[in-house]
């Protein structure tokens, strides 16, 4: 087979993303048709900036979802094919590999791996770690920030001091200390996970109890339905990692045994939680002075009911915007850690590691570094545009 021309490469790449195009068309068609009934999300379709941001974010979200099923990738992102080392985009495979996709669409890296497939599979890593870690950070920040801002007593002083203490460290230095291989061997990430991952359990329990305090039957039913599955996930998560893990008590381990993922997850939650705490604390201090909060106190509502069912819903606009921006920051941090070799395992196809491997070929073929770099740039740009669109529409309420 002959090498592909640049236009043929673009055509093949667009064709490989066919499932993503169909998913995007379906999502936008349904959302646009029912935008009046979809609340703040529906209002995005009145904002060109918000629609562009949503399109970029959903493109990579669908890519990450479809990639593990080999619907987009052309080769195994870890496979090394003979004769494909440092090859240019569109290079055909040798006859020996006849049964596989015929070309390396974006060329091969210095280990003869397909750059296109690694870029696509890198999206899966990002959409798993960045949103989930950010969500856990919000659970921690909300659970601690609401009482700190609402009460404003010694609890606020202590929690604010601890948050400021963590924020005093440079972010990259703090990440380096948390993900260093020497730290992983001590078991500290698992102990930190045991503490940080408990916050979703605490948040859910307090949320349900404050809502159904006057209905014990419903309260216990919801507590069992929600907390039992959460506890199973919690126990499996903190038990993941090396076989000789520091906390090894749970026999049902359905979370992947990859200590590097757990370490990065814990680092992201630990670093982002103080920032979320300060935002939630400030919003609680402002909203608690409103008239409807005084009315809730007059009705005899409990403090946690007021915090979770009166203050938190009225703070959702700024929190949703910050959630989108923080996912972007987390994506950049994951790429930075991977670039410096402090992220996932070295063979992982995450974008940071792929950029680091590709930079060795900049003087020959810049494609190996530019492709994952543009993917990272487009996702972060989409998250920023989505946050801007949400901010604009939330201000109109």
What would the mean pLDDT of 214-233 be, rounded to a whole number? Answer: 91
Q: How confident is the model at residue 241 (pLDDT cuts 50, 70, 90)?
A: low
Task: Specify whether the CB–CB gap between 53 and 383 falls below 8 A.
Answer: yes
Q: Are strands 91-92 and 103-104 parallel, antiparallel or unpaired?
A: antiparallel
Return d(Cα 295, Cα 167) in angstroms, integer.
36
Single out the residue of 339, 330, 337, 354 nearest to residue 120, CA to CA: 354
Average pLDDT, the chain: 85
Return d(Cα 258, Cα 263) in angstroms, integer.
9
Place of tokens 């009460």: 151
List Cβ<8 Å contacts ≥24 apart for 61-66. Answer: 61/127, 62/19, 62/20, 62/23, 62/24, 63/17, 63/20, 63/120, 63/123, 64/123, 64/124, 64/125, 64/126, 64/127, 64/128, 65/124, 65/127, 66/19, 66/20, 66/23
| Range from 99-108, 164-173, 312-321, 357-366 that averages highest in pLDDT | 312-321
pLDDT at 108 over 90: no
Give the domain ranges of the chain: 6-121+372-395, 128-328
Interval 299-308: pLDDT, tens = 888 999 999 9
- Beta-bridge partner residues of 104: 91
- Beta-bridge partner residues of 103: 92
> How many of the other CB atoms lie within 10 Å of CB of 169?
12
Interval 29-77: pLDDT, tens = 999 999 888 888 888 888 899 999 999 999 999 999 999 888 899 888 8
């Amino acid at each position: 087979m002959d090498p592909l021309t640049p236009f043929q490469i673009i055509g093949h790449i667009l064709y490989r993303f066919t499932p993503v195009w169909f998913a995007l068309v379906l999502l936008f068609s349904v959302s646009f048709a029912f935008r009046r009934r979809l609340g703040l999300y529906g209002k995005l379709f009145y904002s060109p900036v918000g629609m562009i941001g949503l399109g970029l974010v959903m493109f990579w979200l669908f890519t990450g979802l479809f990639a593990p099923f080999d619907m987009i990738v052309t080769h195994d992102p870890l496979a090394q094919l003979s004769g494909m080392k440092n090859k240019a985009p569109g290079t055909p495979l040798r006859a020996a590999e006849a049964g596989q996709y015929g070309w390396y669409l974006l060329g091969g890296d210095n280990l003869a791996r397909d750059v296109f497939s690694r870029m696509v599979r890198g999206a899966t890593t990002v959409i798993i770690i960045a949103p989930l870690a950010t969500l856990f950070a919000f659970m921690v920040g909300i659970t601690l920030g609401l009482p700190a801002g609402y009460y404003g007593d010694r609890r606020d002083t202590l929690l604010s001091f601890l948050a400021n203490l963590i924020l005093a460290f440079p972010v990259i230095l703090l990440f380096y200390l948390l993900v260093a291989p020497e730290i992983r061997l001590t078991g500290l990430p698992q102990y930190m996970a045991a503490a940080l991952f408990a916050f979703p359990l605490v948040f859910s329990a307090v949320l349900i109890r404050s809502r159904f305090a006057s209905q014990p039957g419903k309260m216990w039913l919801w507590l069992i339905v929600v907390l039992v599955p959460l506890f199973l996930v919690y126990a499996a998560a903190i038990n993941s990692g090396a076989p000789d893990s520091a906390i090894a008590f749970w026999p049902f381990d359905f979370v992947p045994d990859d200590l590097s993922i757990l370490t990065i997850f814990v680092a992201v939650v630990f670093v982002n939680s103080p920032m979320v705490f300060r935002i939630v604390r400030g919003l609680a201090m402002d909203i608690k002075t409103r008239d409807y909060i005084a009315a809730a106190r007059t009705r005899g509502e409990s403090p946690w009911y007021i915090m979770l069912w009166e203050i938190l819903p009225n703070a959702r606009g700024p929190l949703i915007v910050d959630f989108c921006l923080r996912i972007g920051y987390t994506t950049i941090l994951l790429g930075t850690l991977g670039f410096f070799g402090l992220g996932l395992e070295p063979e992982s196809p995450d974008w940071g590691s792929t950029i680091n491997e590709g930079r060795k070929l900049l003087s020959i073929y810049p494609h190996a570094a530019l492709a994952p770099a543009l993917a990272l740039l487009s996702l972060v740009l989409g998250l920023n545009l989505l946050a801007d669109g949400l901010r604009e529409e939330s201000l109109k309420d």
